[in-house]
Structure 1
Amino acid sequence: MSDVDKALASQMTNIQAKTGKSLDELYAVIQQSAFTTHGTIRSFLKETLGLGHGDANTLTTFYLKSAVSPNPPPPIPDGDVLASIYHGSKAALRPLHDALMSAINDFGPFEVAPKKAYVSLRRKKQFAMIGPSTQTRVEVGLNMKDVAPTARLIALPAGGMCQYKVNISELAEVDAELLAWIRFAYDRAG
């Protein structure tokens, strides 16, 4: 089981503990709502069960992929969460993601929270997001302040999920400079 799959299993266990409902009971609540799209189910779970956005999003994703759902999407390639993010024309980018995660794992403990198109990396708060932004590059979003942007470290508009991003398209770009920025964000997140 990959770190991402372990994180998802842990998150689903925590959702059941927070709500006091088993997975079958949660799915029944969703079914009774009659909502069928991802966004409407997620909003319903946030409002009805008081779940945060990430938990509601993950539960919705699991529900829609279940046999219980009236509209299950096609199965995830290889049964792997990352395979659903890095599939088709983006499959060649998976080694970039794996190289980043291998280096970041050396920093110490953190949570991996998979989303639909990226993974969120968290300590007490999110410090990075990693996912394919195009068919040819992976975007690393960074939450950190008081860092001067460079041609490579791109400042993002205020109010977004991250303050900076770095685009990488080859393994050589997973270098000391990028890892130092990620480490800076990691240290301040926890």
Structure 2
Amino acid sequence: MPKTPREMREAIIRNLQKNTGKTFEEWLAVLKKHGPKDPKEARKWLKEEHGLGHGQAGMISAELVGGPSFAKSPESLVDAQYAGPKEELRPIYEKLLEAAKKLGKDVRVEPCTGYVPLIRKNQFAVIRASTKTRVDLGLALGETEPEGKLEAGKVQGTSERITHRIALQSPKDVNAEVVRWLKRAYAENA
């Protein structure tokens, strides 16, 4: 069973001809020749006019804008998050990433378009450049009572698993307290 978006995409592409009678490339050619150019409209068109499933139609229509974000290189996704006015925040991200990688060999870093999830068996943290002056470290800590820098609340645009956040404005903010909360989220999400 596919576990990551990348594995899901590979499974959909691999099974497309068997399930629909056309390969991924054939569906893409049909879409480019006859379908709408807007990805959302294209997905709807593929579903309504051709009976494709949501995932199948989404994978095909995403090609109109260069493919799904997870198919892009992780480095390019992170570079885009910390470009322009958020460039100054990159050292905070790097310091958090360094701390996360020290937690264990099972830590996976899977950048998305707007944030970077940290995954063990489950997603235990996210790193997001939320504003021009702040990086939020989101943590999956369940019912934990907030204390110190730890606040209850989601990080906008991220997983529902994220229950708490720590706002960081400088690499110096990634201190022992922040690392302690990161370790706890890692331990609780094994």
Q: TM-score, normalised by structure 1?
A: 0.67
Aligned equivalents of 1:85, 1:136: Cα separation in 2: 13
**1:174 Cα deviation from its structure 2 partner:** 0.8
**1:93 Cα deviation from its structure 2 partner:** 0.5
Q: Please tell me the residue identity of whatever aligns with 1:174.
A: V
CA contact (8 A) 1:93 1:132 kept: yes
Aligned equivalents of 1:50, 1:96: Cα separation in 2: 37
| Aligned residue runs from structure 1 range 64-75, under 5 A | 64-65=65-66
The question of 1:86 aligning with 2:49 is answered no
2:134 equivalent in structure 1: 137
Change (3 A) 1:17 1:37: closer
Q: Percent identity?
A: 25
Aligned equivalents of 1:161, 1:146: Cα separation in 2: 11
Q: Please tell me the residue identity of whatever aligns with 1:36.
A: D
2:182 equivalent in structure 1: 182
Which of residues 100, 103, 122 is equivalent to 2:99? Answer: 103
Change (3 A) 1:80 1:118: same
Aligned equivalents of 2:30, 2:128: Cα separation in 1: 31
2:119 equivalent in structure 1: 122
CA contact (8 A) 2:100 2:107 kept: no
**Structure 2, unpaired ranges of 5+:** 17-22
CA contact (8 A) 2:123 2:140 kept: yes
CA contact (8 A) 1:128 1:185 kept: yes
CA contact (8 A) 1:90 1:135 kept: yes
Cα RMSD after superposing both structures: 3.6
